[in-house]
Amino acid sequence: MKNKTGLLLLMLLILTNSGISQQSNGHAPEATAAEATLSFRDIPDIKEAFIDAAPKDRKDGILVGELGIDGGNKALILKLAQKIAKDNTDKFDSFLITYKGKLLFESYYSRGRSNLPHPQASATKAYTCMALGRAIQLGYLTMDDLHKPVVSFLRELDPTKFVAGVEKITLHQAMTMRSGIRISNEQREELEKNPSKLIGQGQVQGILEHSAPITTESQNFKYQGDPVLVMQVLDAVVPGSAKDFIKNELLDKIGITTYGWRTDVSGLPRSGSGSSMTSRDMVKWGTLAMNKGKWNGEQLVPEAFITKATSRILLTGDEDVYGGGKDVSNQGYGYYWWNADLKYGNKSYYSTSAQGGGGQFIILIRELDLMVVVTAHENDNSTLQIIAESILPAFVQNSIPTMSGKIDSQDKSSVLEGSYLGQKAPGLIPELFAPDIIRTKHREAEAAFTPDLKEFYFRRRGGEYKNNTLVVIQYKNNRWIESVVPPRAGEPFISSDGKTLYLGNKYRERTNSGWSAVKSLDAPFKDIPIMRLTVSAKGTFYFDEASETGPIRYSRLIDGKREKPLAVNIDMGNWNAHPFIAPDESYLIWDDQRESGYGNADLYISFRQEDGSWGAAISLGDQINTEFGEAYGSVSPDGKYFFFHRSFGGDRGDIFWVDAQIFEALRPKQ
C-alpha cells in the first residue's frame, strides 16, 4: 500500500467509480510487541486503513474467498470501506464480512489490529451463552433445566436469608434479563464494602439477600447483571472450573488461542463483559452460531439451544437501542443475543447479533447466509443501520424491489406469488407474518384464510382506521390486492367449507357474487355479545362473551338444531377469550390471564382426551407467550401454521405465525 492516506483514498475512489476491483496487496496490520502491552485506549491509530477484498488464508480454520467472485457486490462494499477510511466518525476498528461460509472481506481502521484481541464489552454475554449450551451438549445440563430455579443448582447458598420470590428466577429468565432482581445503589454499595464475602457462590448469596423481593411484576426485561447467575450455574455443574471448561471445551475446540477473559470478584470468569477477541475469532463465534452449533462437523452446542438463543424471545420495546436506525425495527432479545429486522427495499431480514458497548457486533442474517463482524470504540449506534443500507444491497439477489410499497386500500398490489401471500414458511420460532404487506405502525389482529388460501382476512385499528376495520387481501390476476370489507363487523372466522364468514354473533354467506349482506345468528346467540365464534367441521360453535369473564361455551348441532350453550369443562383463568376450535375438535386454543402467566394475556391449548373430556390447560410456552399480550390464536385451513396476535399496547400490535408442529411437543402422551 502507499504511504499516504490521501493517495489511497484517491485510488479507491477512482477504482470504485470505474467498477475496477480493488484490494490491499499488503498484510493486515499487526500490533507490535510494545503495542500489545498497552491498554486498548492507548493503542495508536494505524496510519492508513487496510482493505482486503480477497482475505488471506491464515490456516486458522476460517475459509476465505474473494468478494465479487464468491458473492457480493464489490463496488458497493468498497464504497463503504472508502467512506469509513475517509471519515471514520463511527470509530470503526475492523469490518469483516463472511458469505456462505467464506470470509470475503477484511478491513482494519483506527485501533484495529489483526492479531490484537479487541475488548468485547457485552458481546461477552453471547460467549457465556454458548458456554452454557456446550454444557448442555455434554450432558451436564438439559434443555428442561433452563426452566428450573437458578438456586436449585447452587448448593452452597443459605436460602433462609433470601428475599421472597427467589425461586421464581429460572435460568431461562436470567438469560433473557428477566431475573426480577432489583438492587438499589445503596444496597450495591453495601455489598461492595465486603468483597471477600463475594467469593464463589457468595456473590449470588449477597445478590439474593440484598435485592428487593422477586415478583411477577419485577420480572420484566432489564439489562443488568443477570449473566452472573448463569456463570455461577455453569461453574457449579461442570467438572473442574468454569474457566477451564470454557477454554478446553469451547475456545480450544474452535481454535481461539489469543484472547483475554477477565476474572470477576467471585473468582469466576466475568460473564457480562470483560473478554477480548480478535476480529477473526469473532468470526469463529459467529460461524458456530450460524452453523447451529456445529464446528467442522462436530456438534459442540445443541441445535435446539442455538435456535432458542438466537430467536426473538421478547421485544425490548425500544426501537432506538444500540445499533438502531430508520431501517431497523422490532429489536428483541434471545439468550444474550439481540435481534432486529433490517429493511432493504420492501423486504425485512431477520438478524441476530452479539453486541457490545462501543461498537462490537457479530451480526448473522441466516436468510442470506451472511455474517458481519464489527469492532469499534465510541460508536454512535449506527451499525445496524449501516448494515441495512450499505451491506444488504450488496448481497440481496435481484435487489430491485418487486413491490411499489405497502399495500393499502388504494389498490396498490403485490406481484408476490404463492400461498400465504407469497411468504417464506416459518419454522418452530414465531415470525412476523407478511410484515412488508400487512404491517403498519398501528394494530393488526386476527387471521382468517379461506380454504383455497386465496383470501386473507384480518382487522386493523389506528390512524385512519378509527375502529376495528375488516381488511381482506385477495389473490386476483396473479396479484395480492388489499381492500376494506364494509360494514364494520365482528372478529372473522371462516368455516372449513369456505361457505360462511362468521363475525361474532353475525355472519355472511358465500354467493356467486361474493359475500352476502350481514345477517344475525338465531336466538339465543344473536343476543349474546360474542367477540369471537369459531366452528368445527361438524358444526359445533365455540364462543366467548365480551360482557363477562366467564367460561368459553359451546353449542352442538344435534339433528339440525342447536343445543343450549354449555360451558367448556376446562380449568380457566381470569380472562377467557377468542377461542379457536380445531376442525376435528381435537384441541381448543384460547387466550387467558393467569397469575402464572408471562404477561398481560397468554395463549393456552387443551387437547381432547380419549374419553372425550378436555385435558388440562397448557401454556403455549415462552416461544409464543411473552411479557406482551398474545391473543387471537388460529390455525390455517391446511393445519400447517399457527397464527396469533402480539399486542405492544394501545393501537399497536402485529400478526405472527409459526409451524403448527409446535403443538406436538405439548400434546400429552397417552
In order of their start, the domains of the chain are: 5-116+280-290+330-395 (3.40.710), 141-237 (no CATH), 413-663 (2.115.10.20)
- Asked whether the CA dihedral 120, 125, 128, 129 is positive or negative, the reply is negative
- Ranges in the chain, pLDDT < 50: 1-23, 321, 398-415
Q: What share of the chain is helix, strand, coil (3-state, %, to 5)?
A: 25, 30, 50
pLDDT at 339: 95
Let me know: does 568 contact 551? Beta carbons within 8 Å: yes
Listed in order, strand segments (DSSP E) in 66-128 are 92-99, 102-108, 118-119
pLDDT at 469: 92
pLDDT at 76: 93
Q: Give helix 185-192 / helix 202-210 axis angle, nearest 10°.
A: 150
First-to-final CA distance of the chain = 71
Nearest CA among 639, 351, 643 for reference residue 492: 643
DSSP letter for 627, please.
S
What is each CA distance from 126 to 60, 415, 475, 479, 640, in whole angstroms? 22, 40, 43, 43, 33
Written as nine digits, the cell of 649 is 399496547
* Region class of 10: left (phi > 0), else alpha (psi between -120 and 50), else beta: alpha
pLDDT at 407: 36
Per-residue pLDDT tens digits for 535-590: 999 999 999 998 656 789 999 999 989 999 999 999 888 788 999 999 999 999 99
Bond preceding residue 487 cis, omega within 30 of 0:
yes
What is each CA distance from 447 to 27, 369, 450, 458, 506, in whole angstroms? 56, 31, 10, 5, 18
Contacts of residue 534, defined as CB under 8 A and 6 or more positions apart, other chains included, come to 493, 502, 541, 542, 543, 579, 580, 581, 634
What is each CA distance from 208 to 168, 180, 228, 387, in whole angstroms? 12, 11, 12, 41
Give the Cα separation of 270 and 273 in Å (integer). Answer: 6
Nearest CA among 211, 219, 137, 127 for reference residue 180: 219
